[in-house]
Structure formats: C-alpha cells, structure tokens
Chains A and B, each alone.
Chain A
C-alpha cells in the first residue's frame, strides 16, 4: 500500500489511506489516498454518482469502508461513528439540510451547543442551559439573527443551508465538510450564501471542503479542487490546473 507523499505542512488534518468501499458490483470508493491540510478550502467536483457524498459519509463515520483507513490529525478514526467523529471536531452539512423541524432557528443552535457541551440539564429550560452569547454570535455570523425565532420549516432554502452549517459550527469544529451548500438555492443567491459561509469559516479558522457543481463558485471560493470520477480522484490541485485537465474537461465538465 502506498503512503501519501510527505507533506510540507506536517501532519494533514484529514488523511485517507487506500480507502475502498464496495457494495453489490459497485466500487463507490476505489483505493483513495487523500490528504487535506489545515487552512485549505477544497472543492470537490464530479458527476452525480461519482462517489463524492459516499466519501464524505465514510470520512464522517456514517459508512464503514471495505478497506483502508481514515486519520484525523494523525489519529485513526476509521472505526468511529458520526457521533465520536463530530466530538473530535469534524462538522458536516448535508445536500438536504438536516434540521430539527419542530424547533426554531435559535433552538437548533442551542441544541448544537448542548451537543458541544456533551451533557444536558433535565431541569433548566433549553435556552437557559446554554451560553446565549455563543448562540447570538453564531446567529450574527451566518446573518440569521432576524429569523432567530422562526420555525425552521418556514425558512427559504438559502437560510436552511446557512443554518445547517451553523449547527455544525456550534460544535467548534476544526473541519467542516459541506455537501452541496448551494444546491436548491436560487442562482442569484448562491454567491450570497457562499460569501456568508466562507466569511464564517474564515472567522472561526475552520478548514473546509465542499461539494459543488457550479464552476464559477468553485473558481471563486476554492483554493484547491479535487475531481471525482467513478470512485477515484482523477485530478487534484489548483483550480485552474484541474479545470485545464483534459480528462476532467471531458468527464466532469462535459466540454470538448
């Protein structure tokens, strides 16, 4: 098994070794060696079914790989579940935002704070059992303060996407993985959502990787791009280099 090339930065934040997932006759992840350095903004591109979300699911403990290992800051997390990995500092958002739909925006963040604290009072009301300053700061950070007391079911998709990431940020993670943060958002609002998200991640010093289909957004916000084809990373590097790769142009971007 080949090890990833030694890093100039020291131990990567997240690293995978020969990560493989097979089910049925499909190879959803095919011996992936991957490393993410602290401070990077990685965009993952690829056609539907290329294995982008599967890779996120494996790295966050939702799916066990058939072979291979995942390391977080040098620690083997391959056999841990989403709960333990979240507690080690990996936040996640979803293509379809995973919110608590009977709760308000503020309460969703309060529940995130309870998750961070790791214990829940049985007697104090939710609002009084968490640090309200942290909740208010998060509301301001993702610009949802005007919607704090609205039910999450009443929110437009862009706000739901922001809240999905904000819940993850309440855990004070080192890394946030976002699965299509702008899908379902009206095209004229996509940049506003990304601006807010990226500013929030910068302010909290969080490394991030996001899955994205929109080339403009990838070029504007990513420092690095990885192109997925059939469960493998076909190209990985600076955005302009990856977009110039003939295989990526043919298989992922669909141009000649």
Chain B
C-alpha cells in the first residue's frame, strides 16, 4: 500500500515536472538542477543509511564534471552519453580509492576527512590554472546527443529527458539496494558493527560498497550539471555545495530513497521563494527550515509522513 502511494506520487510529480518544464522554457534548467541536487542528495542518503555523513562529497560532482570537460575538450566529437558514462566511472573509481582509506573511520572523523580531501582537491583545481582554467573553470562545446547535433533549446529538452530518466532509474535501483540483503547489511553498520563482524561480515567492505554507490550518484549529478551548462567550475566541489547536499539529505531523511528528491524539491522551493521575497535573507530561511525539520521530523520528511500514517492506522 505504501509503495503504491509513493509510486503514484513519483509518477504524478514526474508528469507535472516534465509538463511544466516543456511549457515554460526558463523552468528547464531549474528543473534539471533540482533533479541533479536530488541525485547528489540520494548519494548522501546511501551513507546516512550506514549512519555516516560526508561533508566533502561534492568533490565527486567536481570529479565527474571535470572529467566531462577534459574529455569534451580533448575529443570534440564525443557524445554526451559517452562523456556522462566516463564522468560517472571516474567518480566511482575515485570513490573506491578514497573509501579504502576512509572506511576505517566513523562519525565525525569520517565526515571531516571527506571534507579535508575535498578541500585539497578543490584548491588544486583552483591552482592548476593551465589544466583546469583555475577558478574560471572549463568551458566546452555542446556535445552531440546520441549522434545528433542539437540547438541549445533542443539540447536542454534532451538533457531534461535524460535527467528525468536517470533520476527515476537511480531512485528505483537505490530503493532496491536499500531493501536488498546488501543494503540491509549497510543499515546494520549504523546499529551494530560488532555483531556484523561476529556474523562473518566485513563492515569495511560493506561501507566501501555503499561509498562507491554514493560517489557514483554524486558524480552523476555533477556530470549532468556540467553537460547542461557546458561549464564546470571549482564551485561544483566546494564544501558549501557539500553542505547543501547534506542539508537536502537530512530534509528528506534516509527512510526511503524518494526522500532525497522530496528534500531537493523543498530546497529548490525555499531558494526560489527566498530569491523572490527575501533576497538578503535566504540563508536564514534555509537555517530556520533545518531547525524546524530537526525538531519536528528528525528522521526526515519521508519518515515523518510514514510515522503519521502509522499513528492513524493503529
């Protein structure tokens, strides 16, 4: 019953989003950006299932984005889908390497080591001007999509479709992962790592798997944002961006995969509202929202919704 209602919600929201974005051209980029933030927050949600938070995960968006930019400039004929695939792979591989070290740590050490690594990476990107374009970032020509050369407007529509399809696929696959045996082992890291070892399971190995999934998801979001903008800057990996991803993941909670997108929607609405009515106070509005969520729905918006339904039914 619950799955059915979430399924309906997702289908309705998808139709609404696509319809609005097709009808209103200026809404396309915000719609893509919202879904990309949702994808990145979904990556953070995977780690939250294991009870871990990373304050540096935007680095994987930067790795994905810069991979796309490097390759697009080096191989001008490369297709957008190939570039995207390469970017996600690069993020996943970097995630695997980093997680081999970081999987020894938990809690605040895990979170801050991620932050440290991301700060080193972002400052390197800023300094290596000849290769990375420094703080101006790297621009690249609009690539072909499935071999077709598209105008700017058509490319945006194609990107919108691509992002919607990938977001839905990621949502479904990650929810399957959460419910699977592997995903339940990941959740067991949060509650009892000692027992996990005593049933013959390597908690580190389980965490490495989750970390690679999360790095790939954040990488995917960075790849898609870079492709739609034709530009990647060090901002993509900045710790403020990492903080936004954590913020969205906390808003949505780790109870279900769809929470990340709900959180991203709320985040986008707050940003749009603030831009229209409280131009100089948008961070206060974000802060107030975070405080309200932590007080009234500490397990996130999706968990709050489920808890209320449970109360009614019992």
Q: List residues of chain A with CB under 8 Å of any chain B CB.
A: 60, 81-84, 86-87, 91-92, 98-103, 107, 110-112, 114-116, 118, 120-126, 129-130, 167-168, 170-171
Contact = CB atoms under 8 A, between A and B. Distances in A.
14 contacts: A83-B202, A84-B200, A98-B198, A100-B192, A101-B191, A103-B187, A111-B188, A112-B199, A114-B181, A114-B184, A115-B201, A120-B180, A120-B185, A123-B177
A128 to B, nearest CB: 9
Contact of A86 (B184, B185, B190, B198): B198
A99 B180 contact: no
B200 A115 contact: yes
Interface residues of B, number: 23
A27 to B, nearest CB: 25
A220 to B, nearest CB: 27
A83 B192 contact: no
Nearest 8 Cβ contacts at the A-B interface = A115-B199, A120-B181, A98-B195, A120-B182, A86-B200, A87-B200, A129-B181, A115-B200
Interface of B: 176-177, 179-185, 187-188, 190-192, 194-202
Contact of B200 (A99, A102, A171): A171
A149 to B, nearest CB: 14
A112 B201 CA distance: 9
Contact of B184 (A111, A123, A167, A170): A111
Given A83-B202, A115-B200, A122 B180 contact: yes
Given A82-B198, A86-B197, A170-B199, A102 B180 contact: no
A188 B19 CA distance: 67
A126 B201 CA distance: 15
Nearest to A152: B191
Given A107-B184, A120-B181, A126-B181, A167 B195 contact: yes
Contacts of A170: 199
A116 B201 CA distance: 9
Given A100-B188, A111-B184, 7 more contacts: A86-B199, A99-B191, A115-B196, A125-B179, A125-B181, A126-B180, A129-B181
Most B Cβ at <10 Å: residue of A86, A102, A168, A171:
A102
Contact of B182 (A116, A121, A167): A121
B170 to A, nearest CB: 14
Contact of B191 (A82, A103, A122): A103
Most A Cβ at <10 Å: residue of B180, B200, B201:
B200
Contacts of A99: 191-192, 195
B176 A123 contact: yes
Contacts of A124: 180-181
A122 to B, nearest CB: 5
Contacts of A82: 194, 197-198
